[in-house]
Amino acid sequence: MTRLLIIGALEAELGQAARIAAARGARVAAAEGPAAALARLRSDGADLVLCDLAHDIAWLIERLTEERIACPVIACGRNADAAAAVRAIQAGAREFLPLPPDAELIAAMLQAVAGEPDGPVHRDPAMAALLARAEALARAEASVLVTGESGTGKEVLARFIHAHSRRGRGPFVALNCAALPESLLESELFGHEKGAFSGAVASRKGKFEQADGGTLLLDEIGEMDARLQAKLLRVIQEREVDRLGGTAPVKVDVRLLAATNRDLGAEVRAGRFREDLYYRLNVVSVHIPPLRDRPGDIPALAAHFARRFAEANGLPSRPLSPAAEQALLAHPWPGNVRELENTLHRAVLLADGAVIGPAAIELTPLPPARPAGGDAAAGATPTATPTSAAAAAAAAAGGVAGLVGRRMEEVERDLILETLTHCLGNRTRAAEILGISIRTLRNKLHEYRAQGAPVPVAPGTGLLPGLPGDRPAGAFAWPPAAGSR
């Protein structure tokens, strides 16, 4: 269930937006202004913020950035507030929602945040059997370990388990353990008190407390540091968390799901993952097969993505031609569903005519073979680009020594684009790995596009008409594009 926080008086049009969101399954909360909203986000968190243009959106986004609260902000107001809408977008608001609210736009907004609202798209018998098993496991309270290659849809399956559990009306909170350094991950998981460390300007609940009464997904659990593994084990055993700087434990009622693309059994044998924690997490397990092993899902997923991206970009919905479908079926999909999603996004934008033909299907070539022990085993599928080739050549020439003689701007560009390629176009993940803000990353990518460098397409995002910048699939631009509703 998506947690929506609305900033402003719930009267007239904002109240109408709240009722539409609630009818679409969102759990709606309200705050009178940005300061009250910030306090609520520290304590309870949210998946999305809808803020009236009458309030200081720039101030709110600055505070969220300072306190590392990752929550997208949508500005809303009347169409006449054009200048205010542009200022909000420039300040970092994700999108603009015109008032009075349109039910379909709000549905798209919630869908973009929650992912697949109707569950995993499938047609292959292997996935049908897996989902039947997952639905049966959902009714229990046991921890579930979801395994599978990168891009197979582990979080989508975790949301499916949550939705079919007795906790389905409670919060679903996800945290990527690989996206944050150890110091920040501990605070994100367990929360902190004011003054617990530099930058802790106020008390804040961690993900465990935010997920109280619901489900917590720890994605990429195999990346967690050994010290945090020990603390996590204690939380699972005692069902209570100790905030950083806190004086007393806090009881929590959370069902834990974990996901990984690593072989945790091998990690245990190598001494990198605690054996006792492994058995606590792996009460029951669900393995998602790679896309190449469930070919029946490829046409169904392709048609689904084609419809979604056509709607998101204000384009007519077109079927795939038999030749295009055959090209998709013949590809090995090393990046799995995520790679297929990116491919269909490009195809929707490139296709002309009444169908999506094979000429619009630009498939990512397989990366060159890597030495044993490289990160190819982790499921990364970089796109072959001139910049990535340059970075690879520099590395082959001897690490840092191979960079001598190159301009700093070139090295920075190659590092950013190679990291983005490694993350399959995911801007948020790339920014976290690089240690820069998402705004800085987007500004850099705008520069590289202007220079003619190939920039990987973001999964589920695109350049929509209206305002510059990357936009989430299923979301909307302002003014709305013709046919986008």
Q: Please report the sign of the dihedral spanned by the C-alpha atoms of residue 241, residue 246, residue 248, residue 251.
A: negative
What is the rounded CA–CA span in Å between residue 187 and residue 484?
Answer: 40
Is the confidence at residue 379, as pLDDT, over 80? no
pLDDT tens for 229-272 read: 999 999 999 999 998 888 889 999 999 999 999 999 999 999 99
Q: Please report the sign of the dihedral spanned by the C-alpha atoms of residue 294, residue 296, residue 301, residue 302.
A: positive
Most confident of 194-203, 323-332, 474-483: 323-332
CB contact at 8 A, 376 and 368: no
In terms of pLDDT, which residue wins out, 414 or 258? Answer: 258
Is the confidence at residue 221, as pLDDT, over 90? yes
What is the rounded CA–CA span in Å between residue 459 and residue 335?
Answer: 12
The answer to whether the 3-114 and 125-287 domains have the same CATH topology is yes
In terms of pLDDT, which residue wins out, 39 or 95? Answer: 39
The token pair that represents 107 in the structure block: 């549905």
pLDDT band at 422, cuts 50/70/90?
Answer: confident
Residue given tokens 């245990």 in the structure block: 268
CATH of 3-114, one of 3.40.50.720, 3.40.50.2300, 3.20.20.70, 1.10.620.20: 3.40.50.2300
385-455 belongs to which CATH class?
mainly alpha
| Domain residue limits, the chain | 3-114, 125-287, 293-360, 385-455
293-360 belongs to which CATH class?
mainly alpha
CB contact at 8 A, 210 and 45: yes
In terms of pLDDT, which residue wins out, 472 or 367? Answer: 367
pLDDT band at 142, cuts 50/70/90?
Answer: very high
Q: Averaged over 292-315, what is the pLDDT?
A: 90
CATH of 125-287, one of 3.40.50.300, 3.40.920.10, 3.90.1170.50, 3.20.20.70: 3.40.50.300
Residues in the chain: 485
Residue given tokens 């465990």 in the structure block: 208
CB contact at 8 A, 81 and 16: no
In terms of pLDDT, which residue wins out, 9 or 324? Answer: 324
pLDDT (0 to 100) of residue 388: 41
Is the confidence at residue 483, as pLDDT, over 50? no
